[in-house]
C-alpha cells in the first residue's frame, strides 16, 4: 500500500465525526483508483480453507510432478523458520501451528499456570524455567501431503548467531509481529538476513486480542521500516476484548471465533457473510462501521497479493490474529501449506546445486549436545540440499577430506527423535557426531562440492569461568562440547589455565553456560566479567607478539592458536596503527577445505 495514500486516507477520515470526513475520503479514493495497485493475482487461486481432507496441490510453485521418487518427494517438502522480536508470541504461534496440524493434541503455554505443559520447541531446562527460546529447535511433521520442517528460532538478540544459521537452513520464513508494537529492533535485524538470502516471508500480526495499533498503521510500519510491500490477506474485526475474528478479503467470508479452554484446543469458528445481521450485532455498530471503513480503504488503495512477488521476496502477505486464543490460525496455516516454496537450489563452489540432483549433499548448521540426557551424545543438524540420504550411506566431509558412514540418522520433534531410513532435499536430519562434524561442514556423495560458509559472529562479552568444585575433567569436557556447538569461544591464559575466558555474543549466554554445566555435566561454576571487549587471532607471524594494550593479554584457543584479548575497541585500533606488520584476524584461522575424492 502506498504510504502517501494511506496517510491522506487517515487524515481525511479524521476531518470530523459528522460523516464529512468519510465522504471526502471516499471521493479522494475513487479519484485515486486508477493509480492504485491492480488486483491482479487472486488469492483464492492459491489458498483454500483448511481441511484435513483437502489434498495439497502438488503443482503449486513446482514443475509438473513426474514418476521419479526423488522429484516427488522433494516437491512436497516445506522447510521454514519462524522469527520475531522477543515476546511477540513466536513460540506460542509455533505451538498452535503444531496443534492445528494435528502434531500435538494439547498446546502448552510459555508462561502461566504451573500445571501447564512447556512449549514443545523449548526442550532445554533453562528455556522451560524462563519461558524463552534459547536454542533453535527442529520440528518435523506431516500436513495435507506436505512434509513440513519447522525451525523455531531464539528471538533474543543474545542468541542471534544460532538464529542466523537456522535461517540459512530454511527455504521460507514466518515473521511474527506484535500488534501493539509493530516492527521491533530484533525483527528488523532478522529481516535483513532474510532479505540478503531472498527468503519469502509470510507475516502474522499477533496479539490482536490485546490493545493494538490500527491495522493500517501496522501495514505502513511494515513497508516503511522493512522496505517490503505488505499485502493484507485478511482483516481483523476489532481488537482487545472486542476482537471477534478476521475477514477473508478474497473470499468475502467473515470468520468469527469463540475462546476455547484458554487456547489449548482449536477455537470453534463460524463462517458467514459480511452482511450477516447476527454477525453485525455481535460485532457492534461502532466496531462494524470502523471495520467497513478500513476494508474500503484497503480495497481501493491496498496492495493486491501476488504470489510471484511473494516468492521473489518483494512482498509479504499479511495475516491478523491471536495465537493465544487461536483466532485467525486456520487461514494462516493453510497459506503456509499452499504458498511456502519447495526446496530451492543452493550456491556452491561448483555452481548452484539443484534439490533434484541425484547425489546427496547437505551442510551442518547446528551441533547440539545432550538433547537426550540418557545418552549424552552430540548431534549434528544437517540441512539436506539435494538427492536422497539413506541410512548407512557413505559420504564425504569436504572440510576434512575424509569418508564416513552415516550409521545413525534421526528426525526431530523438539527434544524427541526417531530413527529414519531415508531423507530428501529440504529435510532436517540429525547425525550422531563423535567429533566428525563442525558447524558449516559440507557433506556429500559423488563429486566434491563446498557450500558457502555460514556467518560467524565475533564475541562481544568476555568472562572468566571459575570452577566451584574439583570436577576438572567434567568441567573441561563441558566447555569443549559447548564450544563445538558454537555457543561460545574459549580462551586460555598461561598464568590461569584452569580459569579459562569465554567469549559470547550476548551476556545472557553466560547464564546458559552455567546452567548447562550444572544440568548436563554435574559441574558447579560461575562466570565473572573479565574486562575484555575484543578478541583477535594472530595471523602468520613468527616470534612473540607485542603486548595488546594496557588491559590486554596474549591467550590461546583450544587448538593452541594465539589470540590477543583487548580491553577496548580503541586498543585494537591503536595496536593496528602501532604494529601494521602484525596481522590480526576477526575469526579463527581455518585451513582451506581439503578436497575429498569422489
Chain centroid to Cα 54, Å, comes to: 28
Measure the CA–CA gap between 236 and 209, rounded to whole angstroms: 10
pLDDT in tens, the chain (598 residues): 544 444 444 433 333 333 333 333 333 333 333 333 333 344 444 444 444 333 443 333 333 334 489 999 999 999 999 999 888 888 889 888 888 888 776 554 333 334 344 455 444 555 556 555 556 778 888 888 999 999 988 766 766 677 888 899 999 999 999 999 999 988 998 899 899 889 999 999 999 999 999 999 999 999 999 999 999 999 998 888 888 889 999 888 888 877 765 566 677 677 878 778 887 887 788 888 888 888 889 888 888 999 999 999 999 999 999 999 888 888 999 999 999 999 999 999 999 999 999 999 999 999 887 776 666 678 899 999 999 999 999 999 998 888 999 988 999 887 788 899 999 999 999 998 777 888 999 999 989 999 988 877 788 899 999 999 889 999 999 999 898 888 889 999 988 888 999 999 888 889 999 999 998 889 999 999 999 999 999 988 888 889 888 889 999 998 899 999 999 999 999 999 999 999 999 887 754 333 333 3
pLDDT at residue 453, as a whole number? 82
Question: Rg for the chain (alpha carbons), in Å?
Answer: 26
Query: For residue 451, is it left (φ>0), alpha (ψ between -120 and 50) or beta?
Result: beta
Domain 37-133+142-339 superfamily per CATH = P-loop containing nucleotide triphosphate hydrolases (3.40.50.300)
Taking a C-beta distance cutoff of 8 angstroms, is the pair 383, 365 a contact?
Answer: yes
Measure the CA–CA gap between 54 and 50, rounded to whole angstroms: 7
Measure the CA–CA gap between 15 and 29, rounded to whole angstroms: 15
Q: 3-state class of 46 per DSSP?
A: coil
* Intrachain domains 37-133+142-339 and 361-444 with the same fold: no
Beta bridge partners of 182: 178
Taking a C-beta distance cutoff of 8 angstroms, is the pair 369, 485 a contact?
Answer: yes
Measure the CA–CA gap between 450 and 444, rounded to whole angstroms: 9
Measure the CA–CA gap between 197 and 26, rounded to whole angstroms: 41
Q: Which residues in 30-115 belong to E strands, given as ranges?
A: 77-84
Report the predicted TM-score, pTM, of the whole model to 2 decimal places. 0.77
Taking a C-beta distance cutoff of 8 angstroms, is the pair 596, 574 a contact?
Answer: no
CA angle 407, 168, 72 (to 5 degrees): 60
Measure the CA–CA gap between 443 and 295, rounded to whole angstroms: 51
Taking a C-beta distance cutoff of 8 angstroms, is the pair 25, 114 a contact?
Answer: no
**521 φ/ψ angles, rounded to the nearest 5 degrees:** -125, 0
Give the torsion sign (CA, 355, 360, 361, 362).
positive
Count Cβ atoms below 10 Å from residue 360 Cβ, excluding itself.
Answer: 23
pLDDT at residue 260, as a whole number? 66
Residue in the block written with cell 592458536: 561
pLDDT at residue 194, as a whole number? 92
How would you write 181-199 as a 3-class SS string?
CECCHHHHHHHHHHHHCCC
Please state, in angstroms and as integers, the Cα–Cα distance from residue 562 to each residue in 494, 525, 546, 554, following that order.
Answer: 11, 26, 12, 7
Residue in the block written with cell 590461569: 496
In terms of Cβ atoms closer than 10 Å to its own Cβ (0-12, 13-18, 19+), residue 311 is: middle
- CATH fold for domain 361-444: Elongation Factor Tu (Ef-tu); domain 3 (2.40.30)
Would you kindly state where each structural domain of the chain is located, as residue ranges? Answer: 37-133+142-339, 361-444, 461-585
Nearest by Cα to 535 from 573, 508, 510, 566: 566
Query: Hey, what's the cell of 350?
Result: 561448483
In sequence order, which ranges of 243-284 are alpha helices (DSSP H)?
277-283
Strands 378-386 and 428-432 come out as antiparallel
Measure the CA–CA gap between 533 and 462, rounded to whole angstroms: 7
Measure the CA–CA gap between 172 and 161, rounded to whole angstroms: 18
Collect all residues with Cβ–Cβ distance below 8 Å to 470 and sequence separation of at least 6. Answer: none
Taking a C-beta distance cutoff of 8 angstroms, is the pair 294, 300 a contact?
Answer: no
Measure the CA–CA gap between 147 and 144, rounded to whole angstroms: 8
Query: For residue 227, is it left (φ>0), alpha (ψ between -120 and 50) or beta?
Result: left
In terms of Cβ atoms closer than 10 Å to its own Cβ (0-12, 13-18, 19+), residue 384 is: buried
Query: Hey, what's the cell of 185?
Result: 529492533
Please say whether the structural domain 461-585 has been given the CATH code 3.30.1180.20.
Answer: no
Beta bridge partners of 348: 451
Measure the CA–CA gap between 12 and 196, rounded to whole angstroms: 38
pLDDT at residue 555, as a whole number? 94
Query: Hey, what's the cell of 152?
Result: 523455531
**250 φ/ψ angles, rounded to the nearest 5 degrees:** -75, -40
Chain centroid to Cα 480, Å, comes to: 26
Beta bridge partners of 587: none
Amino acid at each position: 500500500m502506498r504510504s502517501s495514500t494511506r496517510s491522506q486516507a487517515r487524515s481525511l477520515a479524521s476531518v470530523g465525526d459528522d460523516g464529512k470526513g468519510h465522504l471526502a475520503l471516499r471521493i479522494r479514493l475513487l479519484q485515486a483508483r486508477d493509480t492504485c495497485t491492480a488486483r491482479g493475482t487472486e488469492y483464492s487461486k492459491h489458498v483454500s480453507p483448511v481441511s484435513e481432507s483437502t489434498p495439497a496441490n502438488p503443482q503449486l510453485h513446482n514443475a509438473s510432478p513426474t514418476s521419479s521418487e526423488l522429484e516427488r518427494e522433494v516437491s512436497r517438502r516445506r522447510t521454514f523458520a519462524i522469527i520475531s522480536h522477543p515476546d511477540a508470541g513466536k513460540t506460542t504461534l509455533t505451538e498452535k501451528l503444531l496443534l492445528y496440524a494435528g502434531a500435538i493434541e494439547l498446546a502448552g503455554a510459555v508462561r502461566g499456570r504451573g500445571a501447564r505443559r512447556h512449549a514443545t520447541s523449548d526442550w532445554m531446562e533453562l528455556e522451560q524455567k524462563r519461558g524463552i527460546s534459547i536454542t533453535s529447535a527442529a520440528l518435523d511433521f506431516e500436513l495435507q501431503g506436505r512434509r513440513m520442517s519447522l525451525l523455531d528460532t531464539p528471538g533474543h538478540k543474545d542468541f542471534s548467531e544460532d538464529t542466523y544459521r537456522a535461517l540459512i537452513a530454511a527455504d521460507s520464513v514466518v515473521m511474527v509481529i506484535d500488534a501493539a508494537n509493530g516492527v521491533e529492533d530484533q525483527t528488523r535485524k532478522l529481516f535483513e538476513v532474510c532479505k540478503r538470502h531472498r527468503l519469502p516471508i509470510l507475516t502474522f500480526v499477533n496479539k490482536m486480542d490485546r490493545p493494538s495499533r490500527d491495522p493500517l498503521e501496522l501495514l505502513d510500519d511494515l513497508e516503511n521500516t522493512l522496505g517490503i510491500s505488505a499485502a493484507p490477506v485478511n482483516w481483523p474485526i476489532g481488537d482487545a476484548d472486542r476482537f471477534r475474528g478476521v475477514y477473508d478479503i478474497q473470499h468475502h467470508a467473515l470468520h468469527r471465533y469463540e475462546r476455547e479452554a484458554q487456547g489449548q484446543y482449536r477455537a470453534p469458528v463460524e463462517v458467514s457473510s459480511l452482511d450477516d445481521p447476527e454477525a453485525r450485532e455481535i460485532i457492534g455498530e461502532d466496531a462494524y462501521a470502523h471495520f467497513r471503513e478500513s476494508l474500503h480503504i484497503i480495497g481501493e488503495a491496498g496492495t493486491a497479493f501476488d504470489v510471484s512477488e511473494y516468492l521473489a521476496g518483494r512482498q509479504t502477505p499479511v495475516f491478523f490474529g491471536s495465537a493465544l486464543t487461536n483466532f485467525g490460525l486456520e487461514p494462516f496455516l493453510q497459506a503456509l501449506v499452499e504458498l511456502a516454496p519447495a526446496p530451492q537450489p543452493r550456491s556452491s563452489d561448483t555452481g548452484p546445486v539443484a534439490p533434484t540432483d541425484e547425489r546427496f549433499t547437505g551442510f551442518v548448521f547446528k551441533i547440539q549436545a545432550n538433547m537426550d540426557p540418557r545418552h549424552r551424545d552430540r548431534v549434528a543438524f544437517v540441512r539436506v540440499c539435494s538427492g536422497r540420504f539413506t541410512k548407512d550411506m557413505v559420504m564425504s566431509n569436504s572440510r576434512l577430506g575424509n569418508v564416513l558412514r552415516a550409521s545413525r540418522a534421526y528426525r526431530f520433534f523438539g527434544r524427541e527423535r526417531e530413527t529414519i531410513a531415508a531423507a530428501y532435499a529440504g529435510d532436517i536430519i540429525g547425525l550422531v557426531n563423535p567429533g566428525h562434524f563442525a558447524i558449516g561442514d559440507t557433506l556429500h556423495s559423488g563429486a566434491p562440492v563446498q557450500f558457502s560458509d555460514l556467518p560467524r559472529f565475533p564475541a562481544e562479552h568476555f568472562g572468566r569461568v571459575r570452577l566451584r568444585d574439583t570436577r576438572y575433567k567434567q568441567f573441561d569436557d563441558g566447555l569443549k562440547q559447548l564450544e563445538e556447538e558454537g555457543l561460545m569461544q574459549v580462551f586460555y591464559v598461561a598464568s590461569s589455565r584452569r580459569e579459562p575466558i569465554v567469549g559470547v555474543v550476548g551476556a545472557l549466554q553466560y547464564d546458559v553456560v552455567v546452567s548447562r554445566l550444572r544440568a548436563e555435566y554435574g559441574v558447579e561454576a560461575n562466570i565473572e566479567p573479565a574486562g575484555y571487549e575484543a578478541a583477535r587471532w594472530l595471523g602468520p607471524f613468527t616470534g612473540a607478539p607485542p603486548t595488546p594494550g594496557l588491559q590486554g593479554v596474549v591467550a590461546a584457543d583450544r587448538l593452541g592458536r594465539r589470540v590477543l584479548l583487548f580491553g577496548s575497541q580503541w586498543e585494537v585500533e591503536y595496536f593496528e596503527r602501532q604494529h601494521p606488520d602484525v596481522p590480526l584476524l576477526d575469526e579463527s584461522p581455518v585451513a582451506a577445505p581439503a578436497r575429498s575424492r569422489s
